[in-house]
Structure formats: C-alpha cells, structure tokens
C-alpha cells in the first residue's frame, strides 16, 4: 500500500488542471466517496499492525495534498472566470476620476489661511448648545425674536417653572464658541470660529436650514474700530483681489456696539453695477462691530481695561460670490455635475 500511496502523491503533484471540467474529473477520481483515496481508507483495515502507523501517516498526507490541490485550483479558476465574465479585456483603458474638495471646504480653508497669517487661531465648539452660550451671554434680551421657535431648533425646552431652567438647542451661530473662549482664556484673545449652524428657515435658492459660518474675535487693551476696519480690508483684498474696496454701513447686533454691515465692491462689474450686485456696485458679505461691554462682563472680562471687535460671515455667501453660484441648494445635493467643477481648486 505504501508504494500505491507514493505513486498517487507523485501523480497528483505533477497533474495539470486547466478548466472546471478537468477539476471535476479530478475530484471524482481522487476525492469522491468512490474515489481512489476513499478506497485506500477502506483497505486500511487489512494493513498489518506493525505497518499501520507509517501507512496511516502517509494516507493522511495523501488526502491533505489532494484537498489542497483541489482548493487551490478551484480558487484560481474562479478568479479567472470572474475576470473574464465581468471585464471586457479588449476595452480601451480610461483615466479614473479623482476626487475634489467641496466648494464650502475650499473657501473655508482659504478664510482660515488668511486670518492665520495675521495671528488668529482656530477655535471649535459643540453644535448642540445651551441657551446661556448662544443667547444670554451674548446680550440677547429674553424677548428677542431670535429665541423664538420660528428661528431656533430647540432639542428640549425646560419649563420656566423649573428651579434651574435651561434650553438645549442647535446653535444658530458660532458666536457660542467665542463665549466659551472668553470664559476659558484671558486676553489677549485673537481667534476665529468656523463651523456649521442651524436655523429654522424655509429652504430656497437663497436660504437653507443648515449653513456654515466663520466668526472672528479680537480682545486686548486699546483695540479700536480702526483695527477692525483694517483687518477686514486685509481679508477682503486677500480673498477677492488687491483692487477690492470695502464699505461699512451702520447696523445693529445685540452683542456689538457700534455695529456695522460690510460690503465689498462687486468683482464682476468692477463697481459699475450689474445684476449680481443689483446695480449698486456693492455686495454684502459680513456683519461686525465692537464687542458689547455686557458681553465682556458676562464672560468675566474687565470691560474698563479691555476692548475688542467681532465679525461673522456665511461661508455659503462668500462661495456664491467667489464662484458665481446662483442656488445655495447646490451645496447640499451632492450633484457630481456641480462638484466636478471644483477639481482644479485647492
């Protein structure tokens, strides 16, 4: 029997199997219940006791070798058949499409880079916030309309009868991050806070319930409105070009006094007037102002010693102006025809 086993080992080792039909013939001949290896196991009872150990080891080796060859060839044939059936090898090759950054990410990174070059650090905070950080410490009056359900997504509204009432909500601006920075860091403070914010608004070409902001804060001794103006002029010219001009119009925000809206000269018409700027020559891009003393005091910063300025801008708005996108909804629809246009951006 030893000689028979050795002959089969040699035969299996040199056997070539080219296709599925030959593999099945191999299985039937060697590994099936009526195959040669099963017959040898049946005949094993007739082996003399003194030879059983040696013959048994060889028989097990033969079975293992036969199984390994079968599994190896089967796997190889399956891979070959899958390739031949799913891929047309005669088809010309084509370049694979590369990914790109989202336009919102592109502009966000540009804004961060510009302000980082003049000493601003980046601060981030939670999107789920409490009323204290989003409204109260920013000098919003209890009856301010921004607190209403029409503008704010409330997660839980605790009754005013509660001994320690606190509303939990989705932040409506990243100013809440600035509050956290002022509470945990002593002046001088120079930081920007990029992030996603939420407001309960109807979705349209010009508005969305989700959008992105970058807000800036600078607090130190003797900070003036002139510092604010020069900082924003530097930003506008770095973002839109050296010929860009700015103008500041009086406005109102609860957390700044005085407050202003900032416009930039329209880069499309050069200030001459067009449909984009509604023939005014100017485009509004952000709100700004000097930090209200009440905000400083609520964050334990001495308003008699320190002053500061703050500003906030919508990234979607800047992206629309920079790339002349006329529908804000395109940023959220994942339309590859739209996103592929930004592959050359960084």
Residues 7 and 58 in one domain: yes
What contacts 161, CB < 8 A, 6 or more positions away? none
In the predicted model, what is the mean pLDDT of the chain?
86
> What is d(CA 261, CA 247) in angstroms, rounded to the nearest whole number?
8
Domain final residue, candidates 86, 120, 145: 86
Residues 78 and 180 in one domain: no
Residues 50 and 198 in one domain: no
Domain assignment present for residue 76? The answer is: yes
pTM, to two decimals? 0.67
Mean pLDDT of 69-87: 71
What contacts 84, CB < 8 A, 6 or more positions away? none
Q: What is the pLDDT of residues 82-132, one digit of tens each?
A: 555 566 667 666 666 667 789 999 999 999 999 999 999 999 999 999 999
**Local structure of 308: helix, strand or coil:** strand
Domain final residue, candidates 21, 54, 86: 86
Residues 76 and 108 in one domain: no
Tokens of 156: 């839980």
Domain assignment present for residue 193? The answer is: yes
Q: Look at the block and give the residue holding tokens 């607090």.
A: 219
> What is d(CA 258, CA 291) in angstroms, rounded to the nearest whole number?
8
Domain assignment present for residue 92? The answer is: no
Domain assignment present for residue 95? The answer is: no
- pLDDT recorded at residue 281: 85
Residues 164 and 74 in one domain: no
Residues 108 and 68 in one domain: no
Residues 130 and 244 in one domain: yes
Domain assignment present for residue 33? The answer is: yes
Residues 82 and 114 in one domain: no
Tokens of 308: 């500061």
Mean pLDDT of 338-342: 85
pLDDT band with cut points at 50, 70 and 90 for residue 222: very high
Distance between alpha carbon 332 and the CA centroid of its chain, in Å? 13
Residues 125 and 200 in one domain: yes
Domain assignment present for residue 97? The answer is: no
Residues 170 and 70 in one domain: no
Phi/psi-derived region of residue 180, left when phi > 0, alpha when psi is between -120 and 50, beta in every other case: alpha
DSSP calls for 191-244: EEEEEEEE------SS--SEEEEEEEEEEETT--HHHHHHHHHHHHHHHH-TT-
Integer-rounded Cα Rg, in Å, for the chain is: 37
Q: What is the pLDDT of residues 183-202, one digit of tens each?
A: 999 999 999 999 999 998 88
Domain assignment present for residue 72? The answer is: yes
For the domain that residue 298 is a member of, what is the CATH number?
3.30.930.10
Backbone angles phi, psi at 270, to 5 degrees: 70, 20
What contacts 309, CB < 8 A, 6 or more positions away? 217, 218, 223, 225, 227, 228, 231, 256, 288, 289, 290, 291
Residues 67 and 110 in one domain: no
- Of the candidates 292, 298, 325, 322, the residue with the CA atom closest to the CA atom of residue 310: 292
Residues 64 and 115 in one domain: no
Domain tally, the chain: 2
Domain assignment present for residue 94? The answer is: no
Q: What is the pLDDT of residues 285-332, one digit of tens each?
A: 999 999 999 999 999 999 999 999 999 999 998 888 888 888 888 999
- pLDDT recorded at residue 107: 93
- pLDDT recorded at residue 201: 86
Domain ranges, residue 12: 2-86
Cβ neighbours around 221 below 10 Å, total: 10
């Amino acid at each position: 029997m030893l000689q028979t086993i050795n002959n089969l080992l040699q035969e299996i080792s040199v056997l070539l199997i080219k296709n599925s039909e030959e593999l099945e013939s191999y299985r039937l001949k060697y590994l099936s219940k009526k195959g040669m290896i099963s017959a040898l196991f049946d005949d094993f009872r007739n082996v003399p006791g003194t030879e059983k150990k040696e013959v048994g080891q060889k028989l097990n080796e033969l079975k293992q070798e036969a199984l390994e060859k079968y599994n190896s060839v089967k796997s190889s044939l399956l891979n070959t058949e899958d390739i031949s059936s799913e891929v047309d090898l005669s088809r010309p090759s084509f370049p694979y499409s590369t990914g790109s950054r989202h336009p919102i990410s592109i502009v966000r990174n540009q804004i961060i880079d510009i302000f980082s070059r003049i000493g601003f650090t980046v601060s981030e905070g939670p999107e789920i916030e409490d009323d204290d950080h989003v409204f109260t410490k920013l000098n919003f009056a209890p009856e301010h309309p921004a607190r209403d359900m029409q503008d704010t997504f409330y997660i839980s509204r605790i009754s005013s009868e509660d001994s320690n009432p606190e509303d939990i909500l989705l932040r409506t601006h990243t100013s809440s991050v600035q509050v956290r920075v002022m509470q945990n860091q002593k002046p001088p403070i120079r930081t920007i806070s990029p992030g996603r914010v939420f407001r309960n608004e109807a979705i349209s070409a010009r508005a969305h319930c989700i959008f992105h902001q970058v807000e800036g804060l600078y607090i130190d001794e003797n900070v003036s409105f002139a510092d604010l103006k020069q900082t924003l002029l530097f930003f506008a010219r770095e973002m839109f070009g050296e010929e860009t001009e700015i103008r500041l119009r009086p406005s109102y925000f609860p957390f700044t006094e005085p407050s202003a809206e900032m416009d930039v000269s329209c880069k499309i018409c050069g200030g001459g007037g067009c449909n984009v700027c509604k023939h005014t020559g100017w485009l509004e891009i952000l709100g700004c102002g000097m930090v209200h003393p009440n905000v400083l005091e609520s964050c334990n910063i001495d308003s008699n010693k320190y002053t500061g300025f703050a500003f906030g801008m919508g990234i979607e708005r800047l992206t629309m102006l920079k790339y002349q996108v006329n529908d804000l909804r395109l940023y959220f629809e994942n339309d590859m025809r739209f996103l592929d246009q930004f592959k050359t951006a960084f």
